[in-house]
Homo-oligomer: A and B are copies of this chain.
Amino acid sequence: MWFKRWLLGRPLATAQASHERLSNPVALAIFSSDPLSSVAYATEEILLVLVLAGTVALHYSIGISLVIVGLVAILTASYRQTIYAYPSGGGAFVVAKSNLGEAPGLVAGAALLIDYVLTVAVSVAAGIAAITSAVPELHAHRVGLGLLAIAVLTWGNLRGVRESGKIFALPTYLFVGSLGLVIVAGLGRTLFGSAEAHPLPSVPATEGLTLFLLLRAFSSGCTALTGVEAISNGVPTFRDPPSKNAATTMIWMACILGGLFLGITALAYTYGLVPRPEETLISQIARISLGGGVLYYLMQVATMLILILAANTSYNGFPRLACLLAQDNFLPRQMRNVGDRLAFSNGIFILGLSAALLLIIFQGDTHALIPLYAIGVFLSFTLSQAGMVRHWQDRKGRGWRKKFAINLTGAVATGVATVVLAVTKFTHGAWVVIFLIPLLIGMFKKIQWHYRMADWQLELTMYERPKNPPPNVVVMPIGSVNRAVVIAMDYVRQRAHDFRVVHVDVDPDETAKVKEDWDKWGTGLPLVILPSPYRSFLEPLLDYIEKVREENPGGWVTVALAEVLPARWWENLLHNQRALLIKAAVLFKFRVIVTDVPYHLGPY
């Protein structure tokens, strides 16, 4: 207990929950860390596919990036509709469930749960990559460092990080500022000729430059869009008028995202850079633009910070979504528990554990994790936009046709992207997610069915309460006659009519001793001796309990145990684990109640 206090801090009262409202610049920083941080790896992922087709393919990087920025614009317009329609926060699960029904809602829910886990794994892996690019000696320790980061995030969230906004705003602006500097400095150098022009590097082609390859490159770049929905989930935290402020912030976010992403892609192209396994692309760019000095290291630190911050946003989203699912009985009810530091402890813990497992399985390699990532994000985008389409169809309202058209464009665009992603990335890992989603939905349904059946069986309206309480027989097994037994007997005797003390005859010497002691201390009560030809202690006792149960149809059998509890844990090994065995054996018998009368040995 003291350990928990020391680790997590003293409990917080329900009334202490924070209701801080955020100004637009602060909200921008907090909700944009997830989408903006993906700039740190999106361009690299595009180039990783393009280089397969050799030097000439690299020319397509700019075009692909422009398509993705177009998608950002469409999604931003589409989500602005959601912000106005769901001022209390419109996550994909809520929008899909309330407009399209339970099944699409569960698909979105499952996709989002997977996403949150992947956001943590990918962001942490990429954040560590930012550091190991600057300090290559750490490359060998990347899995350990990643696990450490996840542990710190989990711990911080279990403590219940108090979102005093401004602290969280710092890394985002640091990242935007330093990356902006990199781009300005880089473009300046190139345009005004202070650096010589870099020719495109000569890369041997291993695959043909097919449409499929270009679509694969586009799919890889789609990771740039992960997290753009964050603002629409957080509308209530904006200052009044929340919807308007959120919609404005959304546009700012989209402009910064588009600008940084295009800038990075353009610089990579003009510098003639290709991905290298030991150093991230963005680190290569920064090294050239900033010259490798203090500013370069600041840039790497800012990259790591914003990526860790992006991972942290999942620690808000995952437990909240798990709680929503648990409220509908799709997940265990424990997910609804708010811990004593006002955090959904169970959800936080499961998220940390799953992300850590992923990081270990994929050895902290961002490129291996990415193909699993975007598919779930785009699936939830599509369902969310489709939900909005249905929303406008159903509600109509003033000017609904325009809103309908915007969301329809969003739904179609993200839907097409989802299909492209699923097809081009299927063999690279997306299949895992595509199989996992129905598995999770099956689990949701199974859990809900269990709760429904349990509630039905516990329902009181149909219950016929017996007029007279059923009779009760108390059976107390003893191994010897000692103080613990006598105390337990005295406890039982004052309230039981039918009380039977039994001894299983495992060892004739022991039995003789018990009989002798019973004459002295048994106060006239008869002692039942059960024969045990095979020296088993448990089976004759269970047979006897069964017999008593049959003699009293509808009645109770109470098994009273005089349990000796030592003062130190290891001493438990020295006592026959008979009490434990009995408890486990009768747990599943109907109408059998266990009463544990402890006798605590003192320390000596």
Whether A472 contacts B490 in the complex (CB less than 8 A), given A14-B533, A457-B602, A460-B483, comes out as no
Q: B14, B339, B451, B587: which contacts A574 (Cβ < 8 A)?
A: B451
Query: Do A482 and B494 touch (CB < 8 A)?
Result: no
Q: Which residue of B lies closest to A523 (CB)?
A: B465
Q: Does A279 contact B (CB under 8 A)?
A: no
Q: B493, B533, B595: which contacts A594 (Cβ < 8 A)?
A: B595
Q: B466, B588, B593, B600: which contacts A565 (Cβ < 8 A)?
A: B588
Q: Does A197 contact B (CB under 8 A)?
A: no
CA distance A338 to B453 in the complex (A): 45
Query: Do A536 and B486 touch (CB < 8 A)?
Result: no
CA distance A593 to B556 in the complex (A): 18
CA distance A470 to B564 in the complex (A): 19
Q: Does A592 contact B (CB under 8 A)?
A: yes
A571: chain B residues within 8 A (beta carbon) = 450, 454
A21: chain B residues within 8 A (beta carbon) = none
Q: B340, B482, B534, B587: which contacts A458 (Cβ < 8 A)?
A: B482
A513: chain B residues within 8 A (beta carbon) = none
Tell me which of A484, A534, A564, A599 has the highest count of chain B C-beta atoms within 10 A of its own C-beta: A534
A465: chain B residues within 8 A (beta carbon) = 486, 490
CA distance A481 to B461 in the complex (A): 11
A486-497 near B? 1/0 per residue, CB < 8 Å? 100011011110
Query: Do B593 and A595 touch (CB < 8 A)?
Result: yes
Q: Which residue of B lies closest to A456 (CB)?
A: B604
Q: Does A566 contact B (CB under 8 A)?
A: yes
CB proximity of A204 to chain B, nearest CB, Å: 42
Q: B15, B451, B535: which contacts A340 (Cβ < 8 A)?
A: B535
A339: chain B residues within 8 A (beta carbon) = 535
Query: Do A601 and B454 touch (CB < 8 A)?
Result: yes
Q: B332, B447, B536, B596: which contacts A593 (Cβ < 8 A)?
A: B596
Whether A14 contacts B535 in the complex (CB less than 8 A), given A334-B576, A463-B483, A472-B495, comes out as yes
Q: Which residue of B lies closest to A556 (CB)?
A: B491
CA distance A333 to B480 in the complex (A): 14
Q: Does A469 contact B (CB under 8 A)?
A: yes
Interface residue tally for chain A (C-beta within 8 Å): 72
CB proximity of A59 to chain B, nearest CB, Å: 54
Q: Which residue of B lies closest to A336 (CB)?
A: B507
CA distance A575 to B326 in the complex (A): 12
Query: Do B458 and A564 touch (CB < 8 A)?
Result: yes
Within 8 A of B (CB), among A319-342: 332-334, 337-340
CA distance A590 to B483 in the complex (A): 15
Query: Do A491 and B466 touch (CB < 8 A)?
Result: no
A407-428 near B? 1/0 per residue, CB < 8 Å? 0000000000000000000000
CB proximity of A459 to chain B, nearest CB, Å: 7
Query: Do A469 and B483 touch (CB < 8 A)?
Result: no
Query: Do A574 and B450 touch (CB < 8 A)?
Result: yes
CA distance A285 to B392 in the complex (A): 94
Q: Does A259 contact B (CB under 8 A)?
A: no
Whether A595 contacts B598 in the complex (CB less than 8 A), given A458-B483, A494-B469, A535-B338, comes out as no
Q: B11, B457, B587: which contacts A536 (Cβ < 8 A)?
A: B11
A453: chain B residues within 8 A (beta carbon) = 601, 604
Query: Do B592 and A598 touch (CB < 8 A)?
Result: yes
Query: Do B472 and A459 touch (CB < 8 A)?
Result: no
Q: B457, B556, B597, B600: which contacts A483 (Cβ < 8 A)?
A: B457
Q: Would you list 27 pairs from A and B whose C-beta atoms are within 8 A, ordered by A residue?
A: A11-B534, A13-B533, A13-B534, A14-B533, A14-B535, A333-B574, A333-B575, A338-B535, A340-B536, A450-B566, A451-B574, A454-B575, A457-B601, A458-B601, A459-B483, A460-B481, A460-B486, A463-B483, A463-B486, A472-B491, A491-B556, A491-B593, A495-B495, A495-B496, A565-B588, A587-B598, A593-B595
The 6 closest A-B pairs by CB, nearest first: A11-B534, A458-B482, A469-B494, A495-B495, A453-B604, A595-B595
Binding site for B on A (CB under 8 A): 11-15, 332-334, 337-340, 447, 449-451, 453-454, 457-460, 463, 465-466, 469-470, 472, 481-484, 486, 490-491, 493-496, 517, 520-521, 533-536, 556, 558, 564-566, 571, 573-577, 587-588, 590, 592-602, 604
| Known pairs A14-B533, A592-B598, A595-B595 / 12 extra A-B pairs, C-beta < 8 Å | A11-B534, A14-B535, A332-B573, A454-B564, A454-B566, A457-B483, A458-B484, A463-B486, A470-B490, A472-B494, A491-B593, A593-B595
